[in-house]
């Protein structure tokens, strides 16, 4: 609790690392706002004030639309043709 961790994704899963130790792996959410709580996730945390609510602390945030364009645009820019 209160430690800095690294979060990464790999082949449809999310991994959470504390230094060199992988402390959790779960499926990657496919819909925005979906949460995963692992069995025992709250084990060992103090009860009472200051304890997190019984819900996941990570939420998948939807990514905005990415503009798509032809590679020709970059070729024109490289030769000075785009203005």
CA 17/CA 72 separation, integer angstroms: 41
Could you read off the pLDDT tens digit of each residue along the chain, which spans 83 residues?
A: 677 888 988 888 888 888 888 888 888 888 887 777 777 777 777 765 555 555 655 666 666 777 888 888 888 888 876 45
The per-residue pLDDT for 78 is 84
The per-residue pLDDT for 82 is 46
Please state whether 58 falls in left (phi above 0), alpha (psi between -120 and 50) or beta: beta
Name the 3-class secondary structure at 74: helix
Do the Cβ atoms of 54 and 63 come closer than 8 Å?
no
CA 52/CA 31 separation, integer angstroms: 24
- No. of helices (H) and no. of strands (E), the chain: 1, 3
CA 47/CA 52 separation, integer angstroms: 9
């Amino acid at each position: 609790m209160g430690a800095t961790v690294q979060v990464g994704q790999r082949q449809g899963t999310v991994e959470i690392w504390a230094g060199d130790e992988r402390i959790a792996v779960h499926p990657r959410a496919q819909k925005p706002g979906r949460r995963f709580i692992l069995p025992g996730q709250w084990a060992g945390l103090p009860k009472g004030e200051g304890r997190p609510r019984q819900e996941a602390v990570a939420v998948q945030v939807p990514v905005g639309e990415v503009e798509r364009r032809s590679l020709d645009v970059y070729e024109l820019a490289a030769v000075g043709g785009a203005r």
